[in-house]
Structure 1
Amino acid sequence: MALQYSSTPKSESVSLESVGISFLYNNIHHNKVEIFYTKEEVLGEAMSFELTENKLVSILFRANDKNARLYMYGLESLTDEKLELDENGDVYLKPSATPIALYAKDYYPLIPGTYLARIITEGTTYYLPFKVRTKQVTEDQLEIMKKDLEDTVRGLAIDFVKKVYSAADNQNKALPPQLLRQFMMIKKHYPSVMAALTDIYKKANYRIRKEYRWTREYRARQIDHVTVRTLQTKSFHEGQLRTPVNAIDYDLPENRWVKFIIRNVLALLDKFEDSLNSYKEQVICELEELQKFQFQESTRREIVEKERVSLLLEDYREFVHRMKSGFQMVVHAPWYQEITNKTFTHIPHNLQSDSRYRALFQLHRDLKEEELEVFIDPAVTYQWKRTDKLYEMWGYIQILKLLFKLGFKPKSGWLYDSLVEDKSLLIPYLPSGEKIVMLKDDLRIHYFYDAVLPITASGTALERAPLYMGKNNRPDGRIDYFKQDIYVGSLVIDFKYRPMSNFWQNSYYSLMSRPKEMEQLIAYKRDSNSKYLYGEEKGKRFREMYSPRPVREVWALYAEAKDSLQKHLFFNDDSIHIFPMNPGQDFTEMLDQLQTIVNFMDGMLDHM
């Protein structure tokens, strides 16, 4: 939609009769863009248009110049014949008389943020700053979600994606997780550092020092006071004199710094390469899982996104290999092995005055700077995750925090197996199927994220998946409860980044024609079974008599920014709780209900 702003930007705004851009909502409303700017510095000063995430919208781009190009965030996720790649591999839209869907149902959604589109027509570039707004939460609530995730593990709320044209490159700064920031810094300094290292390899600084060697008397050409003094002592070197000679000494303070810096950089590059490999394995696993559902349009688009990321990760791995080879070159220099590892007592003058050594020292200082702001690489950027994914992960962590409040202590899994943080992984992620084990007295719980359940009893396992169910077998969260190591039931949780009316309508509850979203929540309990409930052998008779369902309750937690639309519903027949769950909200009601479930599970074996 085209919006007028009162602020007057430094960049001149113009109207283009030769170009037309419109956004179509439900193929009815045409919102024409009328504001174009001549300079990219306009970003942050004005907007040409606004979009809303997860809202059905098409874009129509027309121009008198048939060679005109429109570059815009969101296009890189589309598959349409009107899209082409330019000489740099960037996606652009050609003029056409028909619109293309920028976001349709279940497509990869636009991510909230501020972006900069551009049009190139008749040799001139025009800029269109625009904003993608949130739909289910306020902008403040979105920031709370990001902060909560970042406070848990820095970098968890962002994705590694191929660059989209957003803010102008000279404004596109970021402070990504530590390891990536350090890699970006190495990459930034790499050309100047390699030029310096190439020269140092050939002509490293040295000094001439005086050494003494035993030399045959007839070959001695120079003597000094040391030679004379040794003549006055009894020596085992008959017929030899201890004479001075000049030797080249490379073991200088600045060369020790070179060795120290190179070792640190190579260690960082090794760490970065391991992280790239780990993340690529994760992407490959996700691609394999997505292939099962490639018949869905939304899945096909997500596959395209992840394939691009996979290729980009491979490009980075190859570049890391080249950089490592460059730094290792100096390791094989003839003089390098002469350098000792003595402790530094000061920063030598030559480290600052010699431009070659200064280039390495500047890299070292920047790597150590904790809050240094770096420019994002032109080929890649970090981007906030899709808001629905943010909400899902944020919700998972909020439930984890509630379990902490109830006295459960983490034992293993995810963060608790090793210190993930941003120091050991390029992109911290919460993998599908992750399990956190927590303890409280003789209660043990397994808290799963996005784990697939088997659909038959033969696929179950007590520790991994003690229950099975029908086709609705992948809830966002699941808590399995164990009392004295005996499985006593589960709580299933879904996180819904949508209004309640989109997944639940009370009037349909008793009808056969229930929407699939309602059917899914109901099926979580009705279709659940377990051969391990109350113990594989001891509980068998009890299960045969009472046919209990292992899923005790089902929770649907949904985002709703408007207070008037927030409702807590409970349906006793299927033990379904529907809670509003928004950033900044008080979760006392959920905490109390979670405590009720814990108490129930804690006393289950007493009733047998």
Structure 2
Amino acid sequence: MITRSERSGEKRNRIFSPGRRNRREKKLPFRLSFITKGDGGRVYPFTRFVNGEEAVLEESAGVSLVENQDIWLRFDGPPDFRFTMDGLDVVTLPHAEKIDGQSYLRPGWKGEPFLLFEGRDFPLVPGYYVITVTGAGKIWRGLLEITPKFMGRQSWQAMREELVEEIKDLSFDFMKRSIHISRSMEGELGLKSAMLLRFYAISEESDRVVQVLGELARTANSRIVRKQGVVRSNRDAAGAHIRCASGKSREGTPVLPVICSEVTWNVAENRFAKAILQKLDENLRSFVQEIDDHARRLGKVQDANAGYYKNRDFKNGANALSHFEKYRARAVHIRNAIRMVAEATWFHEAESGMPETLPMTVFLDPRYSLLYRLYRNLKNPADSLSVSSFYQFQWKRTDKLYELWCFLQFIKALEEKGWDLATGPAVVQEDGKYRLSSLEEGTEITLSRNDEKIRLIYDGTVPQHASDTDRETDPLYTNNVHRRPDLRMDYYRNGAYYGSLVADFKYRDIFFLWRDAARSAGIRTQFNAYRDMNTKFYRGMEESDSIRNSRPVKEVWAVFPKEIPPRGDEDFSLRFISLAPGLKANGNLAEMVERYIVSLNEN
């Protein structure tokens, strides 16, 4: 049946002329096709490949298939070639080869296709899946797109848009942390996010801005211009220094017209700098006024609480007032430096008014570009946040997009329960904007709450031997090949290690796959390995007792993008967690994480 429909499918899919198609296929030393049962066994030849890992993420999909149907694969090529794709790591195929936890398929099978994914038991979720073929020392990559039947694409796009905003929010949280403003402090300050972003911009740039203003107070860019003037004709103009005079002269004095050179400060970048400094001074004046208003209100509250100087609110208020004074002083310092520049000769000579287009010198001269950047970030604070290009490369890797999105949901869930960010990726400046450096493999974020501490590790590798562990950074170990979960949450209380939560983010319909023991054998082994991780640092135990008697990972969470009632598998200490944009279950995550933390504190 597949053979008959395959032939008819080839006729329908002939996009190129026979000659052009043959020439294109000759460039590939293998042949790859997908076959779907849902549309009568139609054949989809896959020929759109690129070489680079980043290039594939900018490429269009080579084949698009509708979700929830059986997908067959035909792969022909030299015997040493191998095929793999996203999703093969969680299914069990009879002829697959496992290399570093990834499944690879050999070509051949006598030219017959074989079932790759079964729509009933393991439907691929809508998104992009990277296909990889290796052989002869080369790597070919392409994209397979699974399209939704109903509203799945909107949820998929919403996840992408939501991730952008949440990365910006996380950047902002770390920016606040770097200027020593905690969540409780933020409440005491009573400031909106725009004001806090201005705090950060001034904190980051003030020293450099004052230095630049000191230089501009002494000198600025100038040009030599030629202009027409006159000299008195009764002087030896050839032998004396010619100084241009105006066209007017005393009546009766003979003059000669000349073209002479003159230095001018009225150049485009100085006109721009003058306009920027005037506007920057206005912004800083408003900034100082806003600080004074907040300080005045907070001062009244402090006066009312003066009798309770040991009270936590009073201490937070005093700390907040100290922050106000510090940032007010920095803003005033910059304003004073601007006044010094305003007394310079070039400042008076340069015309006022912001030019319609930015002079090129603004981008070439770091002094002018720094002033423009500070002005822009103070005027529109929200625009000072951006998203790393790292994430742009992940948009077409839907499984990676889902992993990043889920990781941020756990951070949000902890913050919702009163946890404060302590350490994490650096906030860097790029093209005049602030952004969080990429959440790459092994990224660690630390949060604190009273005497508790949590370390969240994204896609980190667990040590293989007890001797490689460390109480503070790597308390767990396992000798299993499955030792790289998407998320690990290490929990500490009063400096003691109390256990971990291990979670994997599966952009698959993992619950339905789990119900088929044979098809899910691979992920059952994986989750078992996570559950059986060990430690020699459990609470206050001796090392030998900890290794023999502790169970630091009480549960493993399988997170996937489909809403189901709360489910689990006690035999595997496994809990299924529904998480995706728009799901009602999203609101349960914070409480579930908190309950797990409580369980770690129980004997």
Question: Shorter-chain TM-score: which interval?
Answer: 0.3 to 0.5
TM-score (norm 1): 0.46
TM-score (norm 2): 0.46
Structure number with higher helix proportion: 2
